[in-house]
Amino acid sequence: MARLVLQRLALLVPTLVGLSILLFLWVRALPGGPATALLGERATPEAVERINQLYGFDKPLVEQYLTWVGQLLQGNFGTSTRTGVPVLEEFALRFPATIELTVLALVIAVGVGIPLGYVAARHQGRLLDHTTVVVSLLGVTVPVFFLAFLLKWLFAVQLGIFPSAGRQTPSMIATHPTGFYVLDGLVTREWDAAWDALAHLVLPALALGSIPLAIIARITRASVIEVQNADYVRTARAKGLGRPRLRRRVVLRNAMLPVSTTIGLQVGLLLSGAVLTETVFAFNGIGSFLAAAVFNLDYAVLQGFILFIAVVYALANLAVDVSYGLIDPRMRVR
Amino acid sequence: MSREPLLSIRDLEVTFRTEQGETTAVRGASFDVLPGETVAVVGESGSGKSTTAMAVLGLLAQNGRVSGGSLVFDGEDLARATPAARARLRGREIGMVPQDPMSNLNPVMRVGDQIVEALEDTGVARGAEARRRTVELLEEAGLPDAERRARQYPHEFSGGMRQRALIAMGLACRPRLLIADEPTSALDVTVQRTILDRLEELTHELGTAVLLITHDLGLAAERAQRVVVMYRGEVVETGPAAQLLRDPQHEYTRRLLAAAPSLASRRIQIARSAGETAEADLLASHPGDVHEPAGGAPGASGASSDARPDNIIEVRAVSKRFQLRGRGLWGRGTEITAVDDVSFDIPRGTTVAVVGESGSGKSTVARMMLDLVEPTSGTITFEGRPVGGRDRAAEVEFRRRVQPIFQDPYASLDPLYTVHRTIEEPLRAHGRGDAVSRRARVHELLDAVALPRDLLRRYPAELSGGQRQRVAIARALALEPELVVCDEAVSALDVIVQSQILHLLADLQHRLGLSYLFISHDLAVVRQIADQVCVMERGRIVEQGTVDDVFDRPQQEYTRMLLDSIPGRDLDLRSA
C-alpha cells in the first residue's frame, strides 16, 4: 500500500510538469493578451508595452515559463493582472466558499446516491426501481444551471424555505477566522451564523450534486445487482447468514468497488460545475472570479487555478485507489 | 425400508420465468435420502440436477420457483414453508458445498471470518469461541496450518485449499444433510481424490447425509450408496450404485455408461473404407486459390509427401521462465520456471498428448507451440524450420498451418459473430477466395463437423456447448492446418458430447491426415485419443512413451498416482 501511494505521488511530478507546460502555452495561445484586455480602448502600443514589461510578458517564452515555475516552487503563484493582488491571496479569499460547496455537494451525492441505488437494486424490476432509474436519468440530463434556477425559483422564491443567494444573510454579523463559513460558525460558537451559512449552501449544493448523485446511484444499482447474483452471495445464504450481515458485509462491501472509482471521477466534475452554480446563486466563490480571469486573460490566475484543480483531482483519485486497497485485499498485493 | 427418509422428494416440479414464457427445469422428480446416506444425482448440464439441489436449499434463482410436488425434510414440507422457516434450516440443518471454489468465497473477507460469521449468525458460537471453533473446522477439513490460514484472504489460497474451506463452512453447524454440488469438478484429479476422501470420512463420522450432485458417473458410483440419474428434468433411473452400473435399465443410463471414458477404453479406431478419400479431397479443396506456396504444400492426404521430415514438430530442451512481481515497497521479483527442459516430437498424422495437473506447465507448452509465448531457451522446429523470430510472411504461413482449439467454447467464440461469420473469419483474414467460394467452403466445413446448415445464421449464445465446440473445430480446420493444438478441448463438455467430439477429432485426423497436440488433465480422455503421451509435473516431463506403455506399465510414482486418482477406476464401467 505504501508502495502504491509513493508510486502515485512520484507519478504526479511528471504529470504536473507536463500539464504546466501545456497550460502555460494554452493561455498564451488565446487571442489578445492581458495588456489589451486590461487597457481596453486605451490600449495604445506604448501602454501595452509598458504593461508587458511590468509583468515580464515581453521576455522569451522559455524564460517566462522558468520564472513562473521558479516562483511556484517558492509558493508564489504570481500576481493577478486584473486586480493587482497576489493570486494566492485571491484564492485564499474565495476557495473556501467553493470547497465548502463542493464538499457538501459530494456529501449529498454520496449520502443519497448510494442508498438510493442500493434500494433500487433490492427492488429490481419493481416500481421503486423504475422510478429511481428514470429520476437518475433526469438528474444526469438536466443541465446544472437549469436545475439551479429551478431550485432557486421553487424553494427560495415561491416557498421561501432557503435563501436565494449569497453565503450569509447580509444583516448577520459573524466573524470568519478560516473563510469556511459553516466551520467558522462552529469554531466561534456562533451557532446562528453556522446555521445561516449552511442554509445558504443547501440549494447550490443540491444543484451541483445532482449529476454525481444520479451517476453514483446508477453505478451502485448496477453493481449491487451484479454482486447479488454472485456465487459467493448464494453460498453465504446457504451457510445460514442473516440478512443484515449478508447485506452489509457481503453485498455492500463488494458492490462498493466500482462505486468508489466513480466517486473519484466525480470530484473533477464538481469543481468545474461549481463555477456555473455559483453564478446562479451569486455565491461568492472562485467561480465568478475565474470567469473574470478568463475574459481578462489573467494568466497567473488561470494557470494557478487549473494547476490546483489538477492536484486536487490527482489526490482525490489517489484516495480512491487507497480506499480500493482497504475494501479489496486483492489490490494490496498488486 | 427401516428408517424414515431425512429428505423425501416427490413429484418435484421447478419452473423458471423467461422472456419466452415459463420453462420447466425439473418435472416429476422423486427420490429419498436416508439419514447418513450418500445419494448421488447424476446427469449432464441442463438435466436439472443442480436445480433440484437448489430447490432443496430454497436458493433458486429469482425467476425460479417450485411449481409442484413436495420436498419433505424431517417431516416438514419445504415447498410450503415460509421463507423465514427455510432460512432457519440453511446452514443449521442443510449445508452446502458449492461447485467452483474460485467464485464461492467472499473475495474481500478473511477466510476464517467467513466461517466465524456463519457460526455467529446460526447461533452456534460467538466471539473467541467461534474463532477457536473455526480453526478446528478448518483443520478437520484437512487444511494445514489452519490458524494462520484462517487469517488469510481467499486469493491467497489454492483451489484445493478453498474447497477445503468451503467444506469446513458447509459442515460448520453440523447439518444433517449436506448438499455437495459438483464439489471437486474444478480441481485436479489428485486433489479431487484427497478432498472427496476427507469429505467422506467427515460425513461418515458425523453421520451426515450427503446429496452429491455430479456429472461424473464413475465418481458417483464410487462415492454413493445410491445413484439417481436425471435427464432433461426427469429422474430416469434410481438404484443402488453397483446395480445401476451392472445392469442399467434406462437407455440414457446406458448411453452415459458407454460414453464415460475410462482407462479400460482403447484408442478410437476409424476403420478405413472405400469412398473416404474422395471426401477428404473435397475437404482439402482451395476456394479461389490456385497458387500453392512453393515450399509448403499442405499435407491434406498426409501419406503421399515423403520429402518432408517424419516429425511435423520437434521440441528440443525448451524452457520457459516467468518473472513475478515482488511484494512490499522494495520487494524483489522472483522467477518461476513454468516449463523446464522439455523435449518431444509429434510424428506426422499422430496425436501426442501432454497430461498434468494445473500448474504443471502443459498450457505453456501449448502456447509455445502456437508461437504465442516465446521459449526462454531451447528450440521448436516446425517442418524443419525454427518457430518464432521469422519474417511476417513466414509467420502468417505458420499461423495458417497450426491452429488452436481451446477449452471453453463459451469464451472462444465471438458472441457477435454468426456461425457463418465465425467459420469464414480465418478465410477472410488470410484473403482466401471471394464471398461465393468462401460460402461453399463454410458449407463443406459444417458438413465435416456434422452440423446442420440451418445453424449458419445463429449466434453462439443460441448453441449448445457441443455445437459451439464443433464450430470452433470447423473454424480451426478452415485453413487446412496440418497441426491442431487442442488445449483441454473437450474438458468443458458433458460425457456424451465429449465422446462425440473425440470421435469427430479422430475421424478428421484420419481423413485429413492431421497431427494433434492434445493438452488435457483427463487421463481417461487421453487414452481414447492419443498415440503418445508426455506426463508433466512441475514443468518437467517425468514420463513419456506410447499410451499403452504409460497407462499399463507406468514407470514413475507420479504417473501411478495420477492414474490411481481417476474416479471410478476400480469400477467396472462397461458399456451395455
pLDDT of residue B333: 64
Structural domain for A180, as ranges? 106-285
Task: Return the minimum-mean-pLDDT range out of A117-131, B220-234, B411-425, B558-572.
Answer: B558-572
* Residue B247 in domain: yes
Mean pLDDT of the B32-50 span: 91
Sort out which chain B residues have CB atoms less than 8 A from A229's CB and list them. 61
Of B415, B403, B401, the C-alpha closest to B474 is B403
Mean pLDDT of the B401-422 span: 88
Q: Is the pLDDT of residue B40 over 90?
A: yes
* Residue B59 in domain: yes
A191-228 and A127-141 are packed helices; what angle lies between their axes, rounded to 10 degrees? Answer: 120
What count of other Cβ atoms lies within 10 Å of the Cβ of residue B205?
9
Q: How far apart are CA A121 and CA B389, in angstroms?
A: 53
Q: Is the pLDDT of residue B213 over 90?
A: yes
Q: How far apart are CA B121 and CA B464, in angstroms?
A: 41
Percentage of the residues of chain B whose pLDDT score is greater than 70: 88
Task: List alpha helices for B327-391, DSSP H.
Answer: 362-369
Strand partners, B323: B335
Burial of B544 (0-12, 13-18, 19+ CB in 10 A): buried
* Residue B574 in domain: no
Q: Are residues B391 and B523 in the same domain?
A: yes
Half-sphere exposure of A115 (CA within 13 A, CB side): 5
CATH number at residue B48: 3.40.50.300
Q: Is B428 on the interface with A (CB under 8 A)?
A: no
Grid coordinates given for B148: 494462520
Q: Is A245 on the interface with B (CB under 8 A)?
A: yes
Of A196, A202, A194, A180, the C-alpha closest to A93 is A180
Element containing residue A129 per DSSP (H, E):
helix A127-141
Q: Is the pLDDT of residue B26 over 90?
A: yes
pLDDT of residue B291: 41
A299-327 and A2-29 are packed helices; what angle lies between their axes, rounded to 10 degrees? Answer: 160
pLDDT of residue B239: 92
Contact A305, A94 (CB under 8 A): no
CB contact under 8 A, B122 and A240: yes
* Residue A146 in domain: yes
Considering Cα of B401, then B404, then B409, then B413, what sign does the dihedral take?
Answer: negative
Burial of A17 (0-12, 13-18, 19+ CB in 10 A): exposed
* Residue B80 in domain: yes
Q: Are residues B315 and B221 in the same domain?
A: no
CB contact under 8 A, A231 and B91: no
Q: Is A330 on the interface with B (CB under 8 A)?
A: yes
Q: How far apart are CA B340 and CA B266, in angstroms?
A: 31
* Residue A152 in domain: yes
Q: Are residues B230 and B307 in the same domain?
A: no
Q: How far apart are CA B227 and CA B244, in angstroms?
A: 7
pLDDT of residue A289: 83
Q: CA Rg, chain A, in Å?
A: 24
CATH number at residue A169: 1.10.3720
Q: Is the pLDDT of residue B570 over 70?
A: no
Q: Is the pLDDT of residue B524 over 60?
A: yes
Contact A57, A35 (CB under 8 A): yes
Grid coordinates given for A127: 416500481
Select the residue of A2, A230, A327 nearest B329 (Cβ to Cβ). Answer: A2
Of A289, A263, A284, A149, the C-alpha closest to A206 is A149
Sort out which chain A residues have CB atoms less than 8 A from B106's CB and list them. 232, 236, 249-250, 254
Strand partners, B65: B15
- Strands in B377-382's sheet, in edge-to-edge order, are B334-347, B311-324, B377-382, B385-386
Contact B533, B352 (CB under 8 A): yes
Task: Return the minimum-mean-pLDDT range out of B411-420, B491-500, B556-565.
Answer: B491-500
Q: Are residues B154 and B234 in the same domain?
A: yes
Reported confidence tier of residue B408, pLDDT bands at 50, 70, 90? confident
Pairing relation of β-strands B311-324 and B334-347? Answer: antiparallel
Q: Is A234 on the interface with B (CB under 8 A)?
A: yes
Task: List alpha helices for B92-206, DSSP H.
Answer: 111-121, 127-140, 146-149, 159-170, 189-206
User: In Å, how far are A133, A145, A201 from A162, measured between CA atoms?
Assistant: 28, 18, 9
| SS3 assignment, position B492 | coil
Element containing residue B402 per DSSP (H, E):
strand B402-405
* Residue B423 in domain: no
Q: Is B303 on the interface with A (CB under 8 A)?
A: no
Pairing relation of β-strands B483-487 and B515-520? Answer: parallel
CA angle A209, A210, A213 (to 5 degrees): 80
Strand partners, B77: B72
Select the residue of A6, A236, A334 nearest B106 (Cβ to Cβ). Answer: A236
* Length in residues, chain B: 576
Q: What are phi and psi of A263, to 5 degrees?
A: -60, -45
Composition of chain B by helix, strand, coil, percent to 5: 35, 25, 40
Task: Return the minimum-mean-pLDDT range out of A154-158, B160-164, B287-291.
Answer: B287-291
Nearest CA in chain B to A229: B61
Helices then strands, counting H and E runs in chain B, come out as 20, 20
Reported confidence tier of residue B299, pLDDT bands at 50, 70, 90? very low
The DSSP secondary-structure symbol of A158 reads: I
* Residue B102 in domain: yes
Of B146, B141, B151, the C-alpha closest to B114 is B151
Reported confidence tier of residue B576, pLDDT bands at 50, 70, 90? very low
Structural domain for B548, as ranges? 302-413+482-564
Indicate the residue type of A274: A
Grid coordinates given for B544: 513419456
Element containing residue B15 per DSSP (H, E):
strand B7-18
Indicate the residue type of B372: L
User: In Å, how far are A101, A107, A277, A279, B348 from A285, measured between CA atoms?
Assistant: 9, 19, 10, 9, 79
Q: What is the mean pLDDT of chain B?
A: 85
Domains in chain B, number: 2
Q: Is the pLDDT of residue B283 over 70?
A: no
Q: Are residues B250 and B323 in the same domain?
A: no
Q: Which of residues 275-294 of A touch B (CB under 8 A)?
A: none
Q: Which of residues 158-187 of B touch A (CB under 8 A)?
A: 166, 169-170, 172-173
pLDDT of residue A141: 83
Reported confidence tier of residue B42, pLDDT bands at 50, 70, 90? very high
Residues 6 or more apart whose Cβ sits within 8 Å of residue B110: B150, B151, B152, B153
Reported confidence tier of residue B111, pLDDT bands at 50, 70, 90? very high
Q: Is the pLDDT of residue B294 over 80?
A: no
Of B423, B62, B12, B490, the C-alpha closest to B230 is B12
DSSP string, A164-230: -SSSS-TT-----SSS-HHHHHHHTT-HHHHHHHHHHHHHHHHHHHHHHHHHHHHHHHHHHHHHHTS
Residues 6 or more apart whose Cβ sits within 8 Å of residue A269: A211, A212
Sort out which chain A residues have CB atoms less than 8 A from B169's CB and list them. 235, 239
Contact B200, B223 (CB under 8 A): yes
Q: Is A43 on the interface with B (CB under 8 A)?
A: no
* Residue A71 in domain: no
Grid coordinates given for B151: 487469517
A191-228 and A87-122 are packed helices; what angle lies between their axes, rounded to 10 degrees? Answer: 40
pLDDT of residue B533: 94
Select the residue of A6, A230, A239 nearest B118 (Cβ to Cβ). Answer: A239
Q: Is the pLDDT of residue B301 over 60?
A: no
pLDDT digits (tens, 9 = 90+) for B128-158: 999 999 999 999 888 888 999 999 999 888 8
Residue owning grid cell 449464445: B461
Grid coordinates given for B358: 494445473
Domains in chain A, number: 1
Q: How far is CA B90 from the centre of its chain?
A: 29
| Least Cα separation, residue B447 to chain A (angstroms) | 39
Sort out which chain B residues have CB atoms less than 8 A from A126's CB and list them. none
DSSP string, B52-80: HHHHHHT---TTEEEEEEEEEETTEEGGG
Residue owning grid cell 506399465: B553
* Residue B345 in domain: yes
DSSP string, A64-78: HHHHHHHHHHTT---
Q: Is A10 on the interface with B (CB under 8 A)?
A: no
Contact B230, B47 (CB under 8 A): yes
Pairing relation of β-strands B177-181 and B209-214? Answer: parallel
Sort out which chain B residues have CB atoms less than 8 A from A240's CB and list them. 87, 90-92, 118, 121-122, 173
The DSSP secondary-structure symbol of B460 reads: G
* Residue B292 in domain: no
Burial of B185 (0-12, 13-18, 19+ CB in 10 A): middle
Q: What ipTM was reported for this prediction? A: 0.76
CB contact under 8 A, A239 and B169: yes
* Residue A303 in domain: no
Contact B550, B543 (CB under 8 A): yes
Q: How far apart are CA A278 and CA B392, in angstroms?
A: 60
Q: How far apart are CA A132 and CA A138, in angstroms?
A: 10
The DSSP secondary-structure symbol of B193 reads: H
Contact B96, B170 (CB under 8 A): yes
| SS3 assignment, position A150 | helix
Half-sphere exposure of B307 (CA within 13 A, CB side): 5
| SS3 assignment, position A115 | helix
* Residue A120 in domain: yes
Select the residue of A234, A241, A253 nearest B118 (Cβ to Cβ). Answer: A241
Give every residue of chain A whose pLDDT is below 50, as ranges: 334
pLDDT of residue B575: 40
